[in-house]
Structure 1
Amino acid sequence: MTSGQMPSRPIGWWLKQADAHLDAAFDRSLEGRPVDRRGWQVLASLAKCPTSRSELVASLAIFDSPSAVDAVVRDLRSRGWVEESAGVLRLTSNGELEHAALAPLVAGVRARVAEALPQDDYVTLVQLLQRLVEAV
């Protein structure tokens, strides 16, 4: 396809393909590890800031149902990586270690995205997707 030429497939197809390829890249990167992309998202969210279960579920609602997020939290708690006290979820010291061990793997996926989309293109793409979401 040359610049300015209409893509052969509609935008929805490309969005689904991009998401599927990102999921597959995370799956390959985290293969053999005890968590998947959703587990990573919970660990990363809690590494940024301890939060209530309802706030965590709300922040990840675009990715999964509340019951699915709860299942991930239960799994991470059973591993001793997440604890809940006074209604607040936080990483344990073992959870912090696991987060630190997984971070370079996730960074590798992000680096491949950055290679495919230089910073200016990435920013433009995200801005265009944001406009699309806001418009429909």
Structure 2
Amino acid sequence: MSDLPIGYWLKHLDRLIENDFDRALASESVGRRHWQVLNSLHNEPGTIADLDRRLTPFLDENEDTVAPVVERLRELGWVEGLVALALTPRGEAEHEKLFARVGEARARLTRGIADEEYRAAVDVLERMSANLEQG
């Protein structure tokens, strides 16, 4: 077992996940944030404010909104609407195609990790978060 603290592993893993997703989605000229917006709108259409609220935990320190990501998806013809945003039929088709690539990335991430181990790790991280949120 490593002597490095959990903060190191959390940041290191987050960077690796970000890079792996970006590589998996690069052929479509989109990255992890684009996927998150696309998937969020697939699950539930909404406004940029809705997306910001849903995706805040994923935003980097230099990102305060997903608006530029939405604009890129709009340019690709995957998102429509000025206030209320939704996926276009092309956006739905792209979501389906990218869903498979994201599944492959998630499989790489959890290779050799049993379902119970994954759930236990998420549970511990969730409780640690709750501890710090309570102060």
TM-score (norm 1): 0.88
Equivalent position of 2:70 in the other structure: 73
| Alignment of structure 1 residues 89-128 onto 2, 5 Å | 89-128=85-124
Equivalent position of 1:132 in the other structure: 128
Larger Rg: 1
Q: What letter corresponds to residue 60 of structure 1 in structure 2?
A: L
> Can you list the C-alpha shifts for 1:41-68, whole angstroms capped at 9, x where unaligned?
000001111112211111111122333x
For structure 1, which segment, 122-131 or 25-34, has the greater mean C-alpha deviation from structure 2 after superposition?
25-34
Q: What letter corresponds to residue 59 of structure 1 in structure 2?
A: R
Conserved 8 A contact 2:22-2:30 = no
CA distance in 1 between partners of 2:6 and 2:110 (Å): 21
1:128 Cα deviation from its structure 2 partner: 0.3
Q: What letter corresponds to residue 112 of structure 2 in structure 1?
A: A
Number of corresponding residues: 129
Unaligned runs of 5+ in 1: 2-6
SS at match of 2:30: coil
> Once superposed, what is the RMSD of the aligned Cα atoms?
1.3
Q: Does 1:14 align with 2:9?
A: yes
Unaligned runs of 5+ in 2: none
Structure ranking higher in strand proportion: 1
Report % sequence identity: 39
| Alignment of structure 1 residues 28-43 onto 2, 5 Å | 28-43=23-38
SS at match of 1:25: helix
Poorly superposed stretches of 4+, deviation over 2 Å? none
